[in-house]
């Protein structure tokens, strides 16, 4: 851990020192009336280009990874499989399959890709990568158009790429986050640039699509409609309200049981609305995260806000969506069990407004020292986002470890429940197939009752009461697991601790360390805790 921190600190110090020295060179050249391009700006452009290129390298590295980049990729694969085969994605929960509490558009967007590339994790990740690439393209275009400078557009894109770890390394995993972000950014960009009402309606439609990827997208759709209503008036804004109301609220209400399944509203509305705990701790979590990751950019984003406040520039939709992003982040923080991916949209809008603020901080005809300070400020904005690159480069031994892991599972003489995995590509390998996250989602949070938790935990019945020999594979020892998995501790005994044998299958770093398959348990019937092997 110390080595990784040192790597990140060396990169931070190197960037600051390089840009600082280059800025001094720029000052001396200008003082001697020596024209030419800014060396400091060239250094920052080079840094941004390198980070973007490294991100593209990560896409290739992560596409090839045979196991789970994120804890939920396996169960998301189950969702896409159902969509690809024309089955309801939200049936009543069974031990084989429990839906997650996300809206369905990512599953249906991925399904046609699997028809071509196969029903596997690389196909799903390729869809996510397309959403991340689209998000980066919109950030570049938005900043370039706003500032009139390709260089500032590249800085915005570089900040987005550098924020990969701050965004919880989620944007190229088989998940809907990248497309929620892409739809929110693209819809905002279309509204900002559209010169016709039809163009602005299309922007609202794109924002509504963000809601269909993930529920928090409704905030950005509301922000877009609110901005247009403020600018054009209630009567002229009727088409925007109709587009958002029909394609968002009405279609959502009418969507079940066809085409998504009888439990669509239960999993996408009833389950997640009971997670939230509104307290000071959630606010503090968001404030700490923002201060640790985006403080320079948040300060810089105040500059375009103040220009609007003082009447120097007109209100733009980007200003409004900054606040919608903050609201989205706060709602995510109210869910204490959420990962930091809930802060991704907020971070993207902070990057856009912050980059514009850094550009507007200095006039084009400012003095040499003022421009040097601007270059230094851009470097400072990068600093909290920088991470150790080796933390997101996956093990080259993963394919061999994966083949060995499959061999172990196939060699067992009974059904295997792998609640940290859910399911893998190919024929069903595990039984039950219910992922522990989906089970926990049904019962966690202050809004859920003991009955909700009992319903969720009953879905582990085939593992809790098997008819014969049965096994359980977990990433953590059972007593250390959270409910519902900890309930199995009285029925299973440790057979094998694989240690680091499958460490190459560890995925990407997140807020929560999900580790890798390690502990193999065998069903032994109800036993007392004291009968378990020492250390379990």
Q: Identify the pLDDT of residue 362.
A: 84
Q: How does residue 534 score in pLDDT terms, banded at 50, 70 and 90?
A: very low
Q: Identify the pLDDT of residue 34.
A: 62
Q: Identify the pLDDT of residue 525.
A: 77
What average pLDDT is seen over the chain?
93
Residues 6+ apart with CB under 8 A from 278: 334
Residue 171 DSSP SS3: coil
How would DSSP label each residue in 100-135? -SS-SHHHHHHHHHHHHH-SSHHHHHHHHHHHHHHH
Residues 6+ apart with CB under 8 A from 427: none
- Which among 18, 157, 175 is positioned nearest to 101, based on CA atoms? 175
Tens of pLDDT, residue by residue over 425-462, are 889 999 999 999 999 999 988 999 999 999 999 999 99
β-strand pairing of 492-497 with 519-523: antiparallel
Tens of pLDDT, residue by residue over 361-380, are 887 667 788 889 999 999 99
Q: How does residue 529 score in pLDDT terms, banded at 50, 70 and 90?
A: very low
Percentage above 70 pLDDT, the chain:
95
| pLDDT over threshold 60, residue 95 | yes
Percentage above 90 pLDDT, the chain:
85
Q: Rounded distance, CA 32 to CA 29, Å?
A: 5
Residue 84 DSSP SS3: helix
Going by the DSSP 8-state scheme, the letter that residue 248 receives in this structure is: I
Residue spans per domain, the chain: 1-66+362-394, 102-260+267-360, 397-531
Q: What's the rounded mean pLDDT across residues 190-202? A: 97
Neighbours of 109 (CB within 10 A): 21
Q: Which two tokens stand for residue 70?
A: 């994120």
Going by the DSSP 8-state scheme, the letter that residue 395 receives in this structure is: P
Q: Identify the pLDDT of residue 254.
A: 94
Give the DSSP H/E element, type plus range, for residue 348: helix 344-360
Q: How does residue 528 score in pLDDT terms, banded at 50, 70 and 90?
A: very low
Q: Identify the pLDDT of residue 486.
A: 83
Q: Identify the pLDDT of residue 1.
A: 54
Residues 6+ apart with CB under 8 A from 38: 22, 26, 371, 375
Contact 316, 408 (CB under 8 A): no
Q: What's the rounded mean pLDDT across residues 168-181? A: 97
| pLDDT over threshold 60, residue 527 | no
Q: What's the rounded mean pLDDT across residues 189-199? A: 97
CA distances from 366 to 42, 142, 371, 374 (A): 18, 24, 7, 10
| pLDDT over threshold 90, residue 300 | yes
Q: What's the rounded mean pLDDT across residues 314-336? A: 97
Tens of pLDDT, residue by residue over 44-64, are 999 999 999 999 999 999 999
Q: How does residue 530 score in pLDDT terms, banded at 50, 70 and 90?
A: very low
Neighbours of 469 (CB within 10 A): 11
- Among all chains, which residue has been given the structure tokens 């939920």? 72
Give this prediction's pTM.
0.94
Contact 305, 353 (CB under 8 A): yes
Q: Identify the pLDDT of residue 485.
A: 84
């Amino acid at each position: 851990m110390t080595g990784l921190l040192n790597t990140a600190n060396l990169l931070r110090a190197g960037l600051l020192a390089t840009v600082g020295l280059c800025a001094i060179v720029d000052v001396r050249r200008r003082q001697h009336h020596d024209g030419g391009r800014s060396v400091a700006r060239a250094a920052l452009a080079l840094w941004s280009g390198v980070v973007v290129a490294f991100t593209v390298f990560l896409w290739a590295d992560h596409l090839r990874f045979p196991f789970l980049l994120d804890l939920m990729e396996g169960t998301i694969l189950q969702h896409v499989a159902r969509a690809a085969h024309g089955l309801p994605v939200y049936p009543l929960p069974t031990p084989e399959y429990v839906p997650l509490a996300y809206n369905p558009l990512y599953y249906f967007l991925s399904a046609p890709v699997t028809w071509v590339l196969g029903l596997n994790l690389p196909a799903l990740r390729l869809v996510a990568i397309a959403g991340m690439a689209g998000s980066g393209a919109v950030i570049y275009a938005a900043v370039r158009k706003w500032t009139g400078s390709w260089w500032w557009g590249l800085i915005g894109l570089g900040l987005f790429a550098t924020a990969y770890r701050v965004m919880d390394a989620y944007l190229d995993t088989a998940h809907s986050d990248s497309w929620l972000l892409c739809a929110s950014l693209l819809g905002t960009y279309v509204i900002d640039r559209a010169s016709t009402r039809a163009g602005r309606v299309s922007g609202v439609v794109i924002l509504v699509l963000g809601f269909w990827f993930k529920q928090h997208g409704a905030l950005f759709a509301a922000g877009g409609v609110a901005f247009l209503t403020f600018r054009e008036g209630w009567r002229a804004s009727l088409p925007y309200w109709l587009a958002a109301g029909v394609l968002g609220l009405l279609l959502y209400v009418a969507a079940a049981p066809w085409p998504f399944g009888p439990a669509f509203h239960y999993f996408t509305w009833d389950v997640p609305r009971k997670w939230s705990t509104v307290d000071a701790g959630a606010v503090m979590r968001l404030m700490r995260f923002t201060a640790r990751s985006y403080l320079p950019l948040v300060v810089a984003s105040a500059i375009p806000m103040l220009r609007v406040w003082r009447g120097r520039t007109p209100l733009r939709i980007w200003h409004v969506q900054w606040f919608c992003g903050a609201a989205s982040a706060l709602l995510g923080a109210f869910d204490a069990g959420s990962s930091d991916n809930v802060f991704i949209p907020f971070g993207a809008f902070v990057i856009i407004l912050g980059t514009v603020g850094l550009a507007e901080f200095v006039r084009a005809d400012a003095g040499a020292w003022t421009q040097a300070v601007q270059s230094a400020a851009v470097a400072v904005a990068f600093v909290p986002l920088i991470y150790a690159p080796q933390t997101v480069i996956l093990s080259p031994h993963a394919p061999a470890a994966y083949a060995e892991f499959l061999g172990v599972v196939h060699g067992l003489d009974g059904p295997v429940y792998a609640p940290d995995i859910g399911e893998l590509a190919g024929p069903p390998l595990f039984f039950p197939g219910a992922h522990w996250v989906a089970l926990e989602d049904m019962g966690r949070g202050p809004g859920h009752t003991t009955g909700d938790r009992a319903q969720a935990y009953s879905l582990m019945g085939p593992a809790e009461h098997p008819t014969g020999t049965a096994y359980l594979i977990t990433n953590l020892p059972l007593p250390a697991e959270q409910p519902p998995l900890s309930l199995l501790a009285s029925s299973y005994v440790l057979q094998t601790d694989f240690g680091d044998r499958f460490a190459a299958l560890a995925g990407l770093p997140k807020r929560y360390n999900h580790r890798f398959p390690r502990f193999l348990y065998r069903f032994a019937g109800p036993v007392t805790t004291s009968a378990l092997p020492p250390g379990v």
